[in-house]
A = this chain, B = another copy of it.
Amino acid sequence: MNPAEYPITTTIAQVHNYMDQNIRIQGWLYSKRSSGKIHFLQIRDGSGSIQCVVVRSEVPPEVFAVSEVLSQESAVIVEGLVRRDTRSSLGYELSVQNLIHVSTAPDYPITHKEHGIDFLLDHRHLWIRTPRQRAILKIRAEVLRAMSDYLDGNGFTRVDPPILTPTAAEGTTELFHIQYFDQEAYLTQSGQMYMEAAAMAMGKVYSMGPTFRAERSKTRRHLIEFWMIEPEMAYFTHEDNLKLQESFLSAVVQQVLNHCQPELELLGRDLTRLRAVQPPFPRMSYDDAVVWLQNQGHEIQWGEDFGAPDESELANQFDRPVFIERYPTKVKAFYMQPDPKRPEVALCADLLAPEGYGEIVGGSERIHDYTLMKERFIEHKLPNEDYAWYLDLRKYGSVPHSGFGIGLERTVAWICGLEHVREAAAFPRLLYRLYP
């Protein structure tokens, strides 16, 4: 049989369109059971996985013999008839007529047994082939898609801020340094300042790209390289900003639920927790949050930032993400607009995810007054030559504006119910881990 002449080559995700027809799929062996006369091959091809049944009496002897020796992750092309089968979880299976053994995978390192996390991270290039990791990466892709769908559908323009910057948006520690020809450069920690410039040109804009923090911390919430989505809106107040965030995040979660239910179920995610993510989100002032935490026995004092345990406990009161509003101006970034009625707090909010996932969004109204921004420059000793362009935004047609940044991996970890953000990136960069 000439493989090229076989009727239809398709993907496992499309097999349901070919009931009772002959098809060919191209993939890898994920697992196998045998009963002497029958081999049950579980074949994956990246789009899905399907049971392929090889019956000794129905195939040429060499096909049965090959099926016998196939080991996990061997590459195979399988030809056969799509047949209804109520015992299969899909409702159908492939009755094999021919099988082409493309390549072997001797001693495949990631077996169906348990492996330690360091071993798995060392083999991340293979680990992503497992159903669980594939499901997480599918959901990550859908989260990005859902974010673009929402923003593109609501008048936003995507703008890509630079990665190489002469300066830092938030302080100068935790930066990766680069020698940029004869200049000093740093990897971006946030595209926000550039997005402010873009918002003055395009009205509503968003970025979607990698950002970097050279943090010497090893927690389950931190990656060295992580993706941020940063919308920025001209003529948006703090209140407009919060309304947008709850609408945006709810739409994203609901789209993931609609498009990735099999993946969420494979991860064992409690879908009722996700279905609850609907606007409006609860809000709590920083003031009230501090008092509430103190009443729970936390040591926190007004003026301090929250730690991870504080955030978890605050968020666990609610069934959906909660905004903590109006933090002390001193603990937040220099560009945040002070509350005009109470300048010791800023018109900002962090959005804390439920179930202990902590901050996934940080946002604020930005200072639009030139004089105030100039004062902040002096206070924070920001080098004028690097930031002159940012001051220009307050000099020429300045308007109230707001924006936020959402961390992709933390959001994916929360939606998927992961223990650690490292599984939410295809090739996570952690402290001391740069391989593969």
Contacts and interface: CB of A to CB of B under 8 A. Distances in A.
Given A160-B426, A426-B194, A392 B126 contact: yes
Contacts of A194: 125, 426-427, 436
Contacts of A303: none
A30 B118 CA distance: 58
A200 to B, nearest CB: 7
Could you say how many copies of this chain the assembly holds?
Answer: 2
Given A46-B202, A397-B103, A26 B145 contact: no
Contacts of A159: 137, 141, 426
A125 B141 CA distance: 31
A144 interface: yes
A contact face: mostly helix, strand, loop, or mixed: mixed
Given A137-B159, A216-B181, A435 B225 contact: no
A203 B431 contact: no
Contact of A397 (B28, B392, B395, B429): B28
Nearest to A178: B176
A134 B182 contact: no
Given A178-B187, A429-B164, A396 B108 contact: yes
Given A160-B210, A178-B187, A235-B26, A434 B137 contact: no
A155 interface: yes
A162 interface: yes
Q: Which of A14, A74, A152, A216 gathers most chain B CB within 10 Å?
A: A152
A302 interface: no
A11 B177 contact: no
A128 interface: yes
Nearest to A179: B177
Given A103-B399, A224-B164, A225-B162, A389 B137 contact: no
A209 interface: yes
A120 interface: no
A183 interface: yes
Contacts of A431: 181
A181 B181 CA distance: 22
Contact of A432 (B109, B126, B141, B181): B181
27 contacts: A11-B203, A13-B155, A26-B399, A28-B200, A45-B203, A75-B398, A75-B399, A105-B396, A106-B395, A123-B392, A125-B392, A126-B396, A134-B201, A137-B201, A138-B202, A140-B158, A160-B210, A160-B227, A161-B426, A162-B426, A164-B212, A176-B180, A177-B179, A180-B434, A183-B434, A209-B209, A390-B436
Given A102-B399, A134-B201, 7 more contacts: A26-B235, A46-B199, A108-B396, A125-B194, A145-B148, A178-B187, A194-B436
